Amino acid sequence: MILQVRLSLKTTRRNNGDIGHRPGKSGFTLVELLIALFILQLVIAPLYLVFTSTRQTMFKAADTLVAAGLASSMIAGLRELPKQSLRSQPLTRDSQLVASFSLENLGVMPAPPEFTRKVEIIPATSAGNEGLYIVEVRIEWHNRNSETQVNYVVRNLLRGKE
Amino acid sequence: MILPVVLLLICILLLLAGTRHFFSQHQLTQASHGADYEKAYHLATGGLESVDTLLMKAVDFINDGRPESFPRVDKAPSELKPIMKRLLGPDGLLNLDTKKIPIDSDLFKYLQKDFESYSSLKVELELRKLESLFASSGAPGPIPDAREAKVMVLLHAEASVNGAFARVYRYREAKLVNILPPVLGKFVLFLREQGSANVDTLADSILGKNQVNDSPLMVYSGAECNPASLPLEESVSFFDRQGWVFLGSEAPWTLGAGPGGGDDEYASAMVSNDLRVFSIPDTDALSTRTDISYYSQPEYLFKELREPFYRQVMQESPSDDLLSARIRISGSANRPTPAVVLGKVINRWVLLQGLKNERTGLYAPLPNIGETQFLTDIWPGMTAASARRVRDNFGGDFRRYRERMTSIVEESCNAANLRVLAFYDPRISWQIALNPDNLPAAIDLPAESGRASVDNRPASFFKMNHGSLYSLSSSDGRQLFAGNLSGFENIEYLKARAGFKFDSASDFYKAIQTEKKEFIVKDVYHIKGDLIVDQPLLAASGCGGMILVDGNVTINDAIRAPDLEPVTIVSFGGSVRVSTSQPLAVALIALKNSVFIESAADISGMIAARDLAMNRLANLQKRSLSFNQNLDVTDAEIYNRAFRLFMKPQGVTFVR
C-alpha cells in the first residue's frame, strides 16, 4: 500500500491550468521522502567533515596570526631597550625573564595560556658586528584537535637605544 | 516534488560549505603569509641592522685621518674591506656616485637558520650626492672645494620568506666635509693686522742672563732643524711642509730679534749667537798687534749695550732697537723651526762688533756713533786716547769704521732662514747679516715655493714676500686662495659644514657627552651664542672636528687630541680668549676680532686672528704655539686625509 501523505500545501492554480500537480492531490510520497533523506545524508556527512576541517583551518590561521603577533611584540619591546640593558639571555619563557627583560618592563602583553613564548639573546661575535645581539623569539602552541606542537620562530638583531 | 527541494537544499549547503572552505583556506593562506611576512620583516630589519653596524664602522674608519689608516683598503679590517673597495675611489676618497652596493654579513645565515631553503635576504647600500655645500662665487678669496657635499646614504634591505616579501629602508642625510680650516690651516700664525699688542716690545732685562721682563710667544713652525742638517735638495719640501706665518698690513712689522735675555728657550732662532773672530787686515794700523782681532757677535753681551756703568755702545740708538719681539717666529735658539713669512716683516737686531784681546780675553766693543762724534775724542765707554787710537786705525775714515762698529742690522725676516739652516756653504755661514739678493751668484739657493705666490711671483724662502695679490695652491695644483690675505675675514660660509646646531654652549656639551662622561669632538658643530670651554674637550680615533661659534670663545680647560687630530674653534664675529695653561690641541680662529692669550698657554695647532694680544706673565712662564702639521691644507695628502663623512647615528627607517 502506498501511503499517500498529503501536505497542506496548496498548489496554485493559474488561469492557464495545472502546472503539474493533480488538483487536490499535491504533496509527495513517503518513498520520495525517504529517497530525499537518503540523498541528504549522503551529502551532509561529508559536508560536516568539511565544516569541521574548515573550522580547524580557521583556528590554525588565527593561532598563526596570534603567534606572529606575540613574537613581533616581544621583539618590538626588546628593541626599545637601552644599549646598556642588553645582555645574554638563554632560551627562557617570557614569564621567567630577568627583570630588565620582564614583560612589564618591556611593555609587552603576556601570551595567552595556549601559547608559550620563549626568548633567547646572544651577543653577535662575528667581526664587524660587535655590539649587536641576536634575539630569537620562539612561540609554541598545540593544534586544538591534533595536539601536535607547532613552533613559530623569529630572529632579529638588537642594537639598543643610545 | 520533494527531490527538487532536496537538491536545491543540497546545492545551497554545498555552496555554503564551499564558500566557507574557500574563505577559511584563504584565511589560512593569508595568516601564513602574514606570519611569513613578519618573519621576512624581521629578517630584513635584522639584515639592515647588521649592515648598518658595518656601515657605521666603515664610516668611523673613513673618518680616521691618522696616517696609519692609509691606504684605506689595505689597512681596513677584513670585515670592512669589501665595503671599502666599493665605497672608495682610486684616489682613496669617498665615491659619491655609487650604484647600489650589495653588502653581505656573517649574520645573514644565522638570521635565516631553519628556513634558509625558502628565504632570501639582500641588503644594498647607496650613496648619492645631493648637492655641493659651497657654490663657487668667483670672487677673490678662498676657493671652495666642490667635493664637500650633502650626501644621501640609503640602505635597502629586501627579504622574502615563502614568497612573502618585506622591504625595509634606512635613510640618512650625511655631509662630506673637510674639517681643515680653509687656507688658514697652512699658517701657524695668521694676523691680518698689527693691532695694539706691541708685539715687538719685549724688553730684555739687563740684570743678567735668563731674565726678561715678559714671556714671549714662541712660535714653532713644524719640524726642527739644526745647522747643516738639511741638504739643499730637501729644502723646498722642508719649507713647504712647515707652518707659515702671515703678518698683514701695509705698515712693516719690525720684530726685534734680540737674545731673549740670553735664555735659549726665549732666544730667537733668527740669529746665531756664535762669536765670530776676524784677523785685522794689513790696511788697518792695529794689524801690527798680533794679540788683537776684530770680533762680531749678535747681541749677547747685552750688558754692554745699555748698562749705565758698563760700556754704553748703543746709547745713541732708540731704546726700541734693543728689544726682543714678543712673537718669536721660527722657534727658539734651542729649537729652531724655520718658517716662510708672508707680509712686510723685518728683523731688527744689534750686532756687537769691536776688538778682542786674544791674550786677556777682554772685549772692547766699538760704539755706535755718528760721523760727527767719530771725529771727536769723546766716545762712549772709551778714553780719549783709545778713541784717537781706534780712529787712527781706520785712517780717520768713518765709512771704514762703520763697517766694524756695533750697529743695528735690519733684514727681511725670511733671510734668517739662510742662517738657521746654514746651507753648509761657508760663504753663507761666514756672514752674520745676510741679504739674499747680494749673495754670490755661485751660491745655490733652494727653489721658490710651488704653493704660494705673491703678486704673481713665487714666494721666496729667503726674501720678503709682500704684496697685494696672494695665491695659495695645494701640492696637487688645486688653487685654494686668490686675493689679499689681509682682507680675508669672512668665513661664515663654513656654517654649511655644520651637522649640529645649538642655541647655547650647554646644549653643545650635553650633545657631545659620552657614556664615559667625556666630551668628544667628532663632527662640525655650530653654536649660536658664546662658548666657554670649561670642561675638557677631546678628539678621538683620528677624527677631530670643528666648533663654529657666532659669539665669543673663552677657553678655560684643556683641548686634547692624542693623535694630533685637527680640531678647530672658529669665532665668526667675536674674540677668542685663552685663559688656561692646560694643553690646547686646537686651531683658534677669530678673523674679525682678537685672539687674547692671557695665560701660559701651550697651543698645538695654529692661531688666525685680526690681531693678537697677550698680557704680561710673571715668573717667566712659558707660552708657546706649535704648528699641527695635520692642519696643512696645502699638502694634498694631509688635506685628503681630512675628509669626513658626518651623519647622525639615528636614521629614518621605513617599510615599503
Residue-range domain boundaries for chain A: 30-158
Q: What pLDDT, on the 0 to 100 scale, is given for residue B554? A: 98
Q: What is the pLDDT of residue A15?
A: 46
Give dist(CA B591, CA B142) in Å, integer. Answer: 14
* Continuous segment of H or E residues that includes residue B21: helix B2-62
pLDDT number for residue B201: 58
Specify whether the CB–CB gap between A88 and A122 falls below 8 A.
yes
Q: Count of CB atoms within 10 A of residue A119's CB?
A: 23
With cell 613559530, the residue in question is: A152
- Do B148 and B128 contact (CB within 8 A), yes or no? no
Most B CBs within 10 Å, among A39, A155, A162, to test the B interface: A155
Tens of pLDDT, residue by residue over A64-81, are 999 999 999 999 999 999
Q: Which residues of chain B have pLDDT under 50?
A: 424
State whether residue A55 sits within 8 Å of chain B by CB.
Answer: yes
* Residues in chain B within 8 Å Cβ distance of A64: 28, 31-32, 34-35
Taking one residue from A and the other from B, the number of pairs with CB-CB distance under 8 angstroms is 138
Q: What is the pLDDT of residues A100-126, one digit of tens each?
A: 899 999 999 999 999 999 999 999 887
B21 CB near a chain A CB, below 8 Å?
Answer: yes
Give, in order, the Cα–Cα distances in Å from B92 to each of B69, B641, B643: 11, 9, 10
The model's pLDDT over A24-64, given as tens digits with 9 standing for 90+, comes to: 566 778 888 888 888 888 888 888 888 888 888 888 889 99
For B113, nearest residue in chain A (alpha carbons): A155
> B42 and A39: CB-CB below 8 Å?
no
Give the residue among B258, B271, B266 at the shortest CA–CA distance from B218. B266
For B356, phi then psi, to 5°, come to: -120, 130
* Contact criterion met (CB below 8 Å) for A134 and A87: no
A76 at the B interface (CB within 8 A)? Answer: no
Q: Distance between CA B197 and CA B327 in Å, rounded?
A: 10
Q: Are B295 and B275 in contact (CB under 8 A)?
A: yes
pLDDT of residue B407: 86
At B207, is the secondary structure helix, strand, or coil? coil
- The reported pLDDT for the residue numbered A119 is 95
Contact status of A154 with chain B (Cβ, < 8 Å): yes
User: Does any CB of chain A come closer than 8 Å to the CB of residue B54?
Assistant: yes
- Contacts B42 to A, Cβ<8 Å: 71-72, 75, 154-156
Asked if B456 has any chain A CB less than 8 Å from its own CB, the reply is: no
Window 497-556 of B: residues touching A by CB (8 A cutoff) are 515
pLDDT bracket for residue A10 (50, 70, 90): very low
Q: Which three cell numbers stand for residue B541?
A: 680615533
Spatial contact of B89 and B640, defined as CB atoms under 8 Å apart: no
Q: What is the pLDDT of residue B306?
A: 55
User: Is ipTM > 0.90 here?
Assistant: no
Which residues of B are less than 8 Å from A124 in CB distance? 50, 107
pLDDT digits (tens, 9 = 90+) for B535-589: 999 999 999 999 999 999 999 999 999 999 999 999 999 999 999 999 999 999 9
pTM for this entry: 0.85
Report CB contact under 8 Å: B79, A128: yes
Residues B543, B522 contacting (CB under 8 angstroms): yes
Question: Is A72 at the interface with chain B, CB within 8 A?
Answer: yes
Which residues lie below 8 Å from residue B566, measured CB to CB, with a gap of 6+? B65, B179, B180, B185, B539, B544, B587, B628, B630, B631, B642
pLDDT of amino acid B606:
98
Asked if A128 lies within 8 A of B43 by C-beta distance, the reply is no
* B648 chain-A contacts, CB cut-off 8 A: none
